[in-house]
A and B are shown apart, each in its own frame.
Chain A
Amino acid sequence: MNTRKPPERAMHPIDKAILDERMSALRGHREADEKAILAGFNEGEVEQWRKENERKDAARDEEEQRRTAERVGRRIQAQLAGCHIPPKFSGASFGHAASSSQSKGLQGVPAVGRGG
């Protein structure tokens, strides 16, 4: 006969795992899964929580990457603005080497914007 005291729902191990997951997401999930199963939840529920956590992780990572890219982009733009590049040459870059006919005069050098 199982005499173990049922777990309190308010202190659900999954909740604890969610708090911990930022520190160690993968390990945290695995432990949470194990704790949840030990606590008497069925595998279907645990699987659902796991998937939900993974989805949240992915969304958070994506958002973080987007914010980082924005931050870097702003920093690059600010740095370039501080260079005082004349407007005439503001488009000069190595970005269109393959399609630009301007590379013809610059042997071995990627094409850049017009002017000299």
Chain B
Amino acid sequence: MAEEGRYDGRMGLILTGAPGNGKTSLAIASLRRFVERTEGEDPASFWNVNHSLQTIRQSFDEDRRQEGSSILDVCRASFIVLDDFDKVGRVTAWVEEQFYALINGLYVEERRVIVTTNLSARRLLEMLDDSLASRLMEMCTEVAMAPHDYRAAS
């Protein structure tokens, strides 16, 4: 889609499927292609959701001023990969707050998003607050990846 120029600002993907079937690789390849096609002019970002939330949490502990800026940083990118979207760990009020800031920020800025998850899109959306699920559904189309584990095969 990025290759064909159909990956416009209001279109995102939720790549779903079993672990090891190439979701992250496909998302990163798309990100790389986007950066190449825009000749590095447009910012792009890769986020492993769990890792990034931990990083934000740590920076929050060290310096409160750092917290909001990380979420804002990812929302500034024109193309964002949110990897392992469902692996947030314990969903606390703080995590919900971060998710809201993240998804709402990407939604209002009409960013290009690729979400990867081992869950189906329906299960993923059930995890989210209705308003966020609605935004994510409007932003993204589900692409169910074929069930083949490349990690096991390698």
Contacts and interface: CB of A to CB of B under 8 A. Distances in A.
Interface residues of A, number: 28
Interface stretch (A19-27, A29-37, A40-48, A82-90): A82-90
Nearest to B45: A83
Nearest to A90: B28
B19 A116 contact: yes
A53 to B, nearest CB: 31
A114 interface: yes
B143 to A, nearest CB: 8
A92 B25 contact: yes
Nearest to B3: A94
B23 interface: yes
B151 A105 contact: no
A82 B39 CA distance: 14
Interface string B7-34: 0000000000111111111101101110
B48 A86 contact: yes
**Interface bracket on B:** 35 or more
Interface string A57-82: 00000000000000010011111101
Contacts of B150: 102, 105, 114-116
Nearest to A109: B26
B148 A105 contact: yes
A76 to B, nearest CB: 4
A104 B43 CA distance: 32
Interface of B: 3, 17-26, 28-29, 31-33, 35-36, 39-46, 48, 116, 145-151, 154
List of 9 A-B pairs having minimum Cβ-Cβ separation, nearest first: A105-B148, A75-B40, A79-B40, A112-B25, A76-B40, A92-B28, A112-B29, A92-B25, A116-B20
21 contacts: A78-B40, A79-B43, A79-B44, A80-B32, A80-B35, A83-B31, A84-B46, A89-B24, A92-B29, A102-B22, A105-B21, A105-B150, A106-B146, A109-B26, A110-B29, A112-B28, A113-B28, A114-B154, A116-B17, A116-B23, A116-B150
Interface of A: 72, 75-80, 82-86, 89, 92-94, 102, 104-107, 109-110, 112-116
